[in-house]
Structure 1
Amino acid sequence: MKIKLTFIAATCLTLLSLKSFSQDKNFYIFICFGQSNMEGNARVEAGDTVAVDSRFQVLQAVDCGDRGRLKDNWYTAVPPLARCKTGLTPADYFGRTLVANLPKKIRIGIINVSVAGAKIEIFEKDSYQSYLATAPGWMKGIAAEYGGNPYARLIELARLAQKSGVIKGILLHQGESNMNDTLWTKKVKGVYDNLIRDLNLKSKKVPLLAGEVVNADQGGICAAMNKIIATLSEVVTNSHIISSAGCPCSPDHLHFTAEGYRVLGKRYGETMLSLLGYKFPDADIH
């Protein structure tokens, strides 16, 4: 009996040891969240779906049977990277920029939980219910795809991703629905702090990259919000603002075109490469 127990204990220790080595330190995970521009509003074009490097992966957030994707599984990051019918997002060309410029041994993983039209309040873990209670039905429908709690789904996916890789950064694109909200930076800090705490991360090692909304040079109808976004680093020390200057927008002057998402995504990527200590010569991004 003693020998049998010893064998069982040894087997358990071996399995635990194997599990501890299942995390790949060269698999860099990035959390993406926000509203429609992070979700992806522009139609995906033919060139966006071909030759996607298999080193660039997405952890599927929702079931998309028609695309052969099941939630909680990793796939090559062919768009869409959010829900099944969403479009191109900055995360697409963020990831492509990284894999084009990082050593071949490094892989990139994206998690994207975004809700079109939503204020940052939808990601406040202790008060999202009150925000959703007065939200329009279509927004409640999007939230329902994330189990009714987008923040909790983000955490669930991130914890799953941590079994495979290491979280290296957080990407945010949000603000249009919080237009002129002077408390926006503090609200973002609250969400960021919760992510850091709930995922057992260190803020000094996990930067927050926040993109500007459609710029004034494109006639952005929410461009004034960029003045508030610019002050985020005063509240979140390890935050970095991604300029939207020159990024083309759609006729609604609220969302970017596919080309706008490509340019903005590349800027997110270049900023992250710099933070990781890498130089980024111009390269073909596929």
Structure 2
Amino acid sequence: MKLKTYILILAALLVVQLKGFSQDPNFHIYLCFGQSNMEGNARLEHQDSLSIDDRFQMMSAVDCPDSGREKGHWYTAVPPLCRCRTGLTPADYFGRTLVENLPKHIKVGVINVAVGGCKIELFDKDSCESYVETAPFWMKGMLKPYDNDPYARLVEMAKLAQKDGVIKGILLHQGESNTGDSLWTEKVKGVYDNLIADLGLQAENVPLLAGEMVSEDQGGSCASMNKIIATLPDVIPNAYIISSVGCPQRGDRLHFTAEGYRMLGKRYGEKMLSLLLEDHQ
């Protein structure tokens, strides 16, 4: 009887070990969140759908029947990467930059949950419900695919993704709707800390990359927010600021052109590559 019991225990341990090995350390996953510039405001151009390496994957955070995508499943990262009919985002060329420069055995996956026009409070677990209740009519259609809780959806998708790979970083582009808010950095820290805790991560291993608003040199109407964004590393030591200087805007002084998103996304990617290089030195 004892021998049979030992065999059963050994078999159970082996199953647990095999399940643990299903997480691929060479599959690097990045969480992306924010408002319209992370959601993707520029129309896709022909070049944006060409020659996408299948090592660059996206997990759909919503169901998109027309494109055959289901929530919680991985697909080659053909844009749009946010919801079903959003545009080009920094996440597109962030991922492309990584796979172009990382060893061939490394895959990259992104999960993008963003809502145009939202304040950072939408991603705060304590204020989300009240925020949604008072959200303008035009925003409610963007919230509905996330079951009115974008933060919870991001965490839900991230937990699924952790079965397949390792979360290596978080990308943020948000701030236009909080322009002038001196407490923005603390609010972002609250969201970041919640993500770290809810996903069982170690903050020192998960940098936060935060992009600037359309810059002053491009006539950005929220460029003043960049001074506040610049102080984010003061409250999150593992935060890094991605410059938007020179990234063209589409004429509304708020959103980038497709070229602007390509430039900004590449800068996110180059910063992450430098951080990964530091980790291996």
TM-score over 0.5 (shorter chain): yes
Deviation at 1:11, TM superposition (A): 4.3
Aligned pairs, how many?
A: 278
Aligned: 1:159 with 2:159: yes
Q: What's 1:119 paired with?
A: 119
Distance 1:44 1:8 in 2: 56
Q: What's 2:191 paired with?
A: 191
Distance 1:36 1:27 in 2: 27
Q: What's 1:257 paired with?
A: 257
Q: Deviations over 1:146-167 (max 9, x none)?
A: 1211101110011111100001
Q: Deviations over 1:66-110 (max 9, x none)?
A: 111111000000000000000000000000000000000110010
Deviation at 1:15, TM superposition (A): 2.5
Aligned: 1:248 with 2:248: yes
Q: Deviations over 1:33-87 (max 9, x none)?
A: 0000001000011111111000000011011111111110000000000000000
- Label 1:140 to 1:8 Cα distance change in 2 as closer, same or farther (>3 A): farther
Q: What's 1:225 paired with?
A: 225
Q: What's 1:136 paired with?
A: 136
Deviation at 1:263, TM superposition (A): 0.1
Distance 2:6 2:66 in 1: 49
Q: What's 1:266 paired with?
A: 266
Deviation at 1:10, TM superposition (A): 4.8
Q: Deviations over 1:114-167 (max 9, x none)?
A: 011000000001221111111112212212211211101110011111100001
Distance 1:204 1:4 in 2: 45
Q: What's 1:97 paired with?
A: 97
Query: Taking every aligned residue pair, what percent have the same amino acid on both sides?
Result: 67
TM-score after normalising by structure 1:
0.94
Q: Which amino acid aligns with 1:20?
A: G
Deviation at 1:13, TM superposition (A): 3.1
Gaps of 5+ in 2: none
Task: Map 1:28-67; keep pairs closer than 5 Å.
Answer: 28-67=28-67
Instruction: For residue 261 of structure 1, give the secondary structure of its aligned residue in structure 2.
Output: helix
Instruction: For residue 204 of structure 1, give the secondary structure of its aligned residue in structure 2.
Output: helix
Deviation at 1:253, TM superposition (A): 1.0
Q: Deviations over 1:160-200 (max 9, x none)?
A: 11100001000000000001101000000000011111111
Q: Which amino acid aligns with 2:269?
A: G
Alpha-carbon RMSD: 1.4
Q: What's 1:23 paired with?
A: 23
Q: What's 1:281 paired with?
A: none
Q: What's 1:74 paired with?
A: 74
TM-score after normalising by structure 2:
0.95
Instruction: For residue 180 of structure 1, give the secondary structure of its aligned residue in structure 2.
Output: coil
Distance 2:262 2:238 in 1: 24
Deviation at 1:112, TM superposition (A): 0.4
Q: What's 1:109 paired with?
A: 109
Gaps of 5+ in 1: 279-286
Q: What's 2:211 paired with?
A: 211
Q: What's 1:173 paired with?
A: 173
